[in-house]
Amino acid sequence: MAGDPINLLGLPRAELETFVAEHLDAKPFRARQLMKWIYRRGAADFAGMSDLGREFRARLAEVAAITVPQIVAEQRSADGTRKWMLRMDEVQGIETVYIPEPHRGTLCISSQVGCAMDCTFCSTAQQGFNRNLTVAEIVGQVWLAHRELKDTRPDGRAITNIVFMGMGEPLANYRNVVPAMRVFLDELGYDLSRRRVTLSTSGLVPQIYKLAEECNVALAVSLHAPDDELRNELVPINRKHPIGELLEACWHYIDKQNGRSVTFEYVMLDGVNDKPEQARALARLLRGHPAKLNLIPFNSFPGTRYRCSPGAAILRFRDILNEHGLIATTRRTRGGDIDAACGQLAGRVKDRTQVRLGAKLTGRAAAQSP
Ligand code: SAH
């Protein structure tokens, strides 16, 4: 058979069934057997797949491969959080973080090498953007973490939740993120319920509508400001898709997917978005809608102009939201000692952007932007 072997890692079930039919003239149950080996047992070669015939395995090895990213470094936090740097090519790397808690284990995965969204408070944004991850590179993060972690729990299920909150804007890599999510949800894949797979977005409105038609997962939205003027500054994509349109898309998603609520992420920046009147404005915006708020203490990184709001300001902000009938929680910072907390993932990115998004949308030249 000519051509490169096809990487089976990350192929959703329907595509794997097509693959075995076309390339191996095999029935769909072969695809199911393969999925069990790849995801449940974490197999990376065909030789050990004992319930597949010898000849079938040999043919598989000619046309297919299970190629996983390579771990180049691992760090462990005092609080149990683990961070892996994965090699993407000679120079570039992405990061994946595992956050253990008593009753769950959350894997925070990346969707791109860098990010082009240019949010002013995020360290990934400072690195610029290089490329989208492939489906195999997205699913590969879970595959690797599962391999590293499965012996840490008696039932082998160390990963109970997956969140797209690592590097990158997942909806900007829609084409590869959706098939990866199908593998996370598939009972022969990672068998996670739709409430345990969370896609976090800076607010790409057209893709939220598209997702509503195609895939059912929990939605988190990086709001960070109660009005367009401030959000334009913090999250530049807001200039293209302002808050009103974004919220419409969110409510549509919940309706369509029969979901419970959208989680709005709100990073607490001292003196910027943490005033009581801003909490009240936020409450007015979201009250009566299926919305929850997750307040994230700002995590610092070298060169940032922001500081985290003081603890008392965060509490007051949360209390005001609660008094207005909104459910607001504060995210506990994890892995701060190994730069694994929200917004601290930097990886290694060779920037290919010529003009930063913020500059592009305001018409300023990149060189003049701060
Ligand atoms: N691109 C996606 C996923 C990114 S990161 C998104 O924008 O939602 C996940 C969350 O961490 C987002 O809400 C992001 O705004 C937040 N975040 C980014 N930088 C941060 C920082 N320095 N401190 C705390 N949270 C940060």
DSSP result, 6-66: EE-TT--HHHHHHHHHHHH---HHHHHHHHIIIIIS----STT-TTS-HHHHHHHHHHEE-
Note the pLDDT of residue 367. Answer: 44
- Residue 364 reports pLDDT greater than 70: no
High-pLDDT (> 70) share of the chain, %: 97
pLDDT-derived band at 355, boundaries 50, 70, 90: confident
How far apart are alpha carbons 223 and 221 in whole angstroms? 6
What integer is the mean pLDDT of 262-278? 98
Is pLDDT of 245 > 90? yes
Stated pTM of the model: 0.94
- Going by pLDDT thresholds of 50, 70 and 90, the confidence category of residue 341 is confident
Q: Cβ(299) to ligand 1 under 6 A? A: yes
Spell 20-30 as b/e; 16+ CB within 10 A means b: beeebebeeeb
- 55 vs 341, residue with greater confidence: 55
Q: 101 versus 339: which is more confidently predicted?
A: 101
| C-beta of 306 in contact with ligand 1 (< 6 A) | no
Q: Does 265 contact ligand 1 (Cβ within 6 A)?
A: yes
Among residues 227, 199, 201, which one has the least CA distance to residue 215?
199
* pLDDT at residue 231, as a whole number: 98
CA torsion angle 28 34 38 42 (round to 10): 140
Atom of ligand 1 nearest to the CA of 117: 1
Indicate the top mutation candidate among 121, 293, 332, 339 to test ligand 1's pocket, ranked by most ligand atoms within 8 A of CB: 121
Q: What is the mean pLDDT of residues 79-94?
A: 91
Count CA atoms closer than 13 A to 370's CA, side-chain side: 8
Distance CA 42, CA 189 (A): 10
Please enumerate in sequence order all residues whose Cβ is within 8 A of that of 276, keeping only pairs 6 or more positions apart, or say none.
316, 317, 320
Q: Give, as one character, the DSSP assignment of residue 237.
A: G
The full 3-state SS of 280-301, as one line of letters, equals HHHHHHHCCCCEEEEEEECCCC
Q: What's the whole-number average pLDDT of the chain?
A: 93
Residues 263, 282 contacting (CB under 8 angstroms): no
Name the closest-CA residue to atom 24, ligand 1.
298
Cβ contacts of 195 within 8 Å, gap of 6 or more: 218, 260
Residue with tokens 């997942």: 170
**What's the residue count for the chain?**
370
> What would the mean pLDDT of 341-345 be, rounded to a whole number?
72
88 lines ligand 1 (CB under 6 A): no
User: From the CA of 149, how far away is ligand 1's center (Å)?
Assistant: 25
**What's the mean pLDDT in 262-266?**
98
Q: Which of 118-127, 169-178, 279-288 has the lowest mean pLDDT?
A: 118-127
Banded pLDDT at 335 (limits 50, 70, 90): confident
Q: Phi then psi for 246, rounded to 5 degrees?
A: -65, -45
> 165: CA distance to ligand 1 center in Å?
7
